[in-house]
Structure 1
Amino acid sequence: MAEHEPNQGNSDDWYTPPAIFDALGLTFDLDPCSPGPEHWVPARKIYTKADDGLTKPWDGLVFMNPPFGNREGHLPWLTRFFDHANGIGIVRAYTSSRWWHKYMPRAEALLFPHGKTKFIRPDGSIGKSPGHGVVLIGMGEVACNALIKSKLGMFWRITADVSAVGASNE
């Protein structure tokens, strides 16, 4: 449920396209940011907005498409995702932003999908291509292996402590 382009309508909910899940071939243990039980994210357990997934326990392999309540509303979700360290998250590939340089050195793998991902709106319509790309973040062996096998785009596996190589949290 992330904002992947400026909100032109009544909602900033943008649902990950089913084709991404088809390519990943995974069933997740948890979707902590689920739009509801009828959604197509293949997850055994979900937390909706009403459940407040940030305050609930996360177990197993997680899929996270975080809500963007404000300019950096996804950052608490990224922190929780990286602390959990097992799953796939999707956020905007905003590589010039301060938050990217602060948080992304924690990633184990990054996959930049080919082209611009067309997210699904709450009414089921397909949104126009966003003005920027997205990245799938892999944490843990199962997630990282699924990303590379998906052939969804350019895959980078992080093998060194990039936070020690010129990264700054300022």
Structure 2
Amino acid sequence: MTKPYHAMTGRSDEWFTPPEIFEALGETFDLDVSQPETGREYLSVPCRRFLTMKNDGLSSAWDGFVWMNPPFGARNGVVPWLARFMRHGNGIACVYARTSAGWFHDCTPKADAMLFPRGKTKFIRPDGSRGNAPGDGIVLIGMGKRAVSALARAQKAGLGITVKIYRKDTV
């Protein structure tokens, strides 16, 4: 069995979100909380400011409308990032769509909407090349009215299917 790209010796855990996602969302973010240290010339995140590993995006102050594509490598490594994102409550997060995972069920009921892109998203490697279809799909998780509008716009653009979250207390 072949290891995923990020698990290969000397390979990066940093994958860049492809530009077509941002084109469909039609947004400029105030802050990217987990931008890579290297290869940023291949990034397409439309943002005013960013944090990198050196800035420790997980513990630094967040403000405004955030974009979060956290490190995907470690098992359940996304959990502290998602918890922080949910507390912040304003932005869009890109994570694995592991709908059977406990963390998915613990975190997503707090979201306002989610968009499941059609097919498997082919991320950009730190060298600028496009990866092959990954083993898992992704989900874009939206918090706040602006995020819900952006996800709805992305659905209209053909990116995927948006689902609005209904909480127990509102049903």
User: TM-score category by the smaller chain?
Assistant: 0.7 to 0.9
Q: Give the partner amino acid of 1:7.
A: H
TM-score normalised over the length of structure 2? 0.87
More helix by share: 2
What residue number does 1:7 align with?
Answer: 6
What residue number does 1:81 align with?
Answer: 85
Q: Give the partner amino acid of 1:72.
A: N
What residue number does 2:148 align with?
Answer: 144
Paired residues, number: 160
- 1:55-66 aligned within 5 A: 55-66=59-70
Measured in 1, the distance between the counterparts of 2:50 and 2:118 equals 28
Confirm whether residue 110 of structure 1 aligns to residue 114 of structure 2. yes
TM-score normalised over the length of structure 1? 0.88
Confirm whether residue 159 of structure 1 aligns to residue 163 of structure 2. no
Q: Percent identity?
A: 54
CA shift, 1:118, in A, is: 0.4
CA shift, 1:154, in A, is: 0.9
Secondary structure in structure 1 of the residue aligned to 2:54: coil
Secondary structure in structure 1 of the residue aligned to 2:55: coil
Asked if the contact 2:86–2:111 (Cα under 8 Å) also holds between the matched residues in 1, the reply is yes
Equivalent of residue 51 in structure 1, options 52, 55, 62: 55
CA RMSD of aligned residues (A): 1.8
Measured in 1, the distance between the counterparts of 2:88 and 2:148 equals 14
Secondary structure in structure 2 of the residue aligned to 1:53: coil
Secondary structure in structure 2 of the residue aligned to 1:50: helix
Runs of 4+ with >6 A deviation: none
CA shift, 1:62, in A, is: 0.2
Measured in 2, the distance between the counterparts of 1:133 and 1:102 equals 19
Measured in 1, the distance between the counterparts of 2:115 and 2:76 equals 21
Q: Give the partner amino acid of 1:18.
A: P
Secondary structure in structure 2 of the residue aligned to 1:111: strand
